[in-house]
Structure 1
Amino acid sequence: MADYNRQEMMAIAGARLIENDQMVLVGTGLPLVSTLLAKNSHAPDATVVMEAGLYDSNPEALPFCVADPRGAYKNPWIGTAFELMAQFLQNKRIDVGFLGGAQVDRYGNLNSTCIGAYSKPVKRFEGSGGASDIAILAHKTIIIMAHERQRFVENVDFITSPGWMVSRYPDRVPVPRRELGMWGGPYAVVSTMGVMKFLEDTHEMYLEGYFADLGVTPEMVLKNTGFPINVSKAEPIVPPTEKELKILRTQIDPEGIFMKY
């Protein structure tokens, strides 16, 4: 039996997608955990940006949210949400937007707004924050979320963060994001089962790797995905190193704010 769980593997797999010289605009929760893990392991020169105005953050204690003052510890600069969300994003300075969500579809459209009809939802969430801006304007987007059939759906109930194919206004015809003037696009979806990416031609999601050491199989991914997904070329993902687990458990989130140990 592995001495780590799927949530830890998911956070580590997300961290591995961050490169050393990238500027990452990060959301609350697991995106923040993965990005800080990357900065404190293989990517010390990555710049962590939080939408509340915190620039080049490397806190000693994990912030509870992107506006937590702990995220401002020894920052070289603290700007405003307007400066970071408008100036940085619109000037194409953000390499990676790292987001969570409640639903995702095969094209990487992400829902963090509501479940059910927008006018009469079954459940309404706190709101999108900057998730739409980030998905539209970052050079690429990484999504992290639990892998369940009700989350990986054929059609999201609401498009908070546009993916590769989006609904054109006002006729709601699905069109490529480039047609609407958007650059970037979803790069990967990291889940509790593995890592999904997107085909270059159709931009449909496929399974790149799965957490075999934790008992996950491609068949399990198929069963827990609400749309057809290609798993034919998927490979087992390398388990965590002792260094990755130690940094995650003792330095990034020792209190278990977002992680379940």
Structure 2
Amino acid sequence: MKKNDYNEMELMICVASRIFEDGVSVSVGTGVPCAAVALAQKLYVPNILIVFEVGGIAPLLPSMPISVGDSNTIHKAIQTVSMPEIMEMLQKGLIDYCFLGGAQIDMYGNINSTVIGNHDKPTVRFTGSGGAHDFASMAWKTIIVAPQSIRRFTNKIDYITTPGYLSGPSSREKAGLFSNTGPYKVITNMAVMGFDEKTKRMKLESIHPGYTIDDIVRNTGFELIIENVKQTEPPTEQELKILREEIDPLRIVIGREAK
């Protein structure tokens, strides 16, 4: 597919949908994460176990819910519970992946979704953690989805709402979090990043069509590890057809700009 055949939101969703192994459990909210797992379920991993924070477990998503309380979140689900039971699944280590976004992200995958500026007198106050802190602390792998900009990808994060690798190797464990957990992938409108196994720093893995390494560097406020960078595969015709006609025909998500 050519770049003009799809928009950046569709690209991010399609790229995210290819990450999962069949049979894994994934906690999702609305927006890009939900569209991505719905596409993954329909096209790549039919046995994916989708979990919604408010209680839907393993629905077969007919289309993308507009909220975590939408009836689609329990369509043909194996169980409907309440939020404490979902949090217990996390505590028991039963959630493989979680999806998160944020206003600021640093090189270790720490996320700020609380304030910009001083905590007591902020320039901007956001909605806060919700369940983001819990999911990133206890799910095995965290996927971060966010538009790429130097203001968002910063080395001067104002507040850590959600822990990534904190200050580097072993810091999660020293803080009392589960070992072998943490940020896994960062998907933006420009690239896919992972994390270096030794240093726990963010590293560039693939660049989306139409962008260059210089574009990524200019829109990142910290030094990325750059080695063995690949080219991201663009959306396929089949991915776009399912995404546009079945998952988000009203263009609730794919009609937005990746800002």
TM-score, scaled relative to structure 2: 0.92
| Paired position in structure 2 for 1:237 | 232
Deviations 1:139-170 (A, max 9, x none): 11000010111110103221111001259xxx
Aligned residue type for 2:118: A
Q: 1 CA distance for matches of 2:131 and 2:44? A: 27
Secondary structure at 2:159's aligned position in 1?
coil
| Paired position in structure 2 for 1:228 | 223
| Paired position in structure 2 for 1:108 | 109
Q: 2 CA distance for matches of 1:57 and 1:128? A: 25
| Paired position in structure 1 for 2:35 | 33
Unaligned runs of 5+ in 1: 168-173
Offset of 1:74 from its aligned partner? 2.1
User: How do 1:95-244 and structure 2 match up within 5 A?
Assistant: 95-166=96-167, 176-183=171-178, 184-212=181-209, 215-244=210-239
Q: 2 CA distance for matches of 1:104 and 1:255? A: 30
Aligned residue type for 2:152: R
Aligned residue type for 2:119: Y
Offset of 1:199 from its aligned partner? 0.3
CA contact (8 A) 1:149 1:226 kept: yes
CA contact (8 A) 2:38 2:63 kept: no
CA contact (8 A) 2:9 2:253 kept: no
Q: 2 CA distance for matches of 1:189 and 1:11? A: 12
* Alignment coverage as a number of residue pairs: 252
Offset of 1:230 from its aligned partner? 2.2
CA contact (8 A) 1:31 1:100 kept: no
Aligned residue type for 1:24: V
Secondary structure at 1:231's aligned position in 2?
strand
Aligned residue type for 1:260: G
Aligned residue type for 2:211: V
Q: 2 CA distance for matches of 1:187 and 1:99? A: 11
Q: 1 CA distance for matches of 2:125 and 2:71? A: 27
Unaligned runs of 5+ in 2: none
Offset of 1:59 from its aligned partner? 2.7
Secondary structure at 2:76's aligned position in 1?
coil
Q: 1 CA distance for matches of 2:238 and 2:125? A: 39
Aligned residue type for 2:31: G
Q: 1 CA distance for matches of 2:161 and 2:70? A: 24
Q: 2 CA distance for matches of 1:159 and 1:196? A: 20
Correspondence for 1:65 among 34, 50, 67: 67
| Paired position in structure 2 for 1:44 | 46
Q: 1 CA distance for matches of 2:120 and 2:148? A: 27
CA contact (8 A) 2:108 2:202 kept: yes
Q: 2 CA distance for matches of 1:36 and 1:61? A: 7
Name the CA shift for 1:245/1:177 in 2 (closer, same or farther; >3 Å).
same
Secondary structure at 2:235's aligned position in 1?
coil
Q: 1 CA distance for matches of 2:102 and 2:22? A: 25
CA contact (8 A) 1:188 1:198 kept: yes
Query: In the alignment, is residue 248 of structure 1 matched against residue 249 of structure 2?
Result: no
TM-score, scaled relative to structure 1: 0.92
CA contact (8 A) 2:147 2:189 kept: yes
CA contact (8 A) 1:27 1:100 kept: no
Deviations 1:231-261 (A, max 9, x none): 3321111111111111111111111111127
Q: Does 192-201 or 224-233 show the bigger shift? A: 224-233
Secondary structure at 2:228's aligned position in 1?
coil
TM-align CA RMSD: 1.7
Offset of 1:175 from its aligned partner? 6.7
Secondary structure at 2:86's aligned position in 1?
helix
Q: 1 CA distance for matches of 2:94 and 2:10? A: 30
CA contact (8 A) 1:163 1:186 kept: yes
CA contact (8 A) 1:152 1:225 kept: yes
Q: Which runs of 4+ in 1 moved over 4 A?
A: none
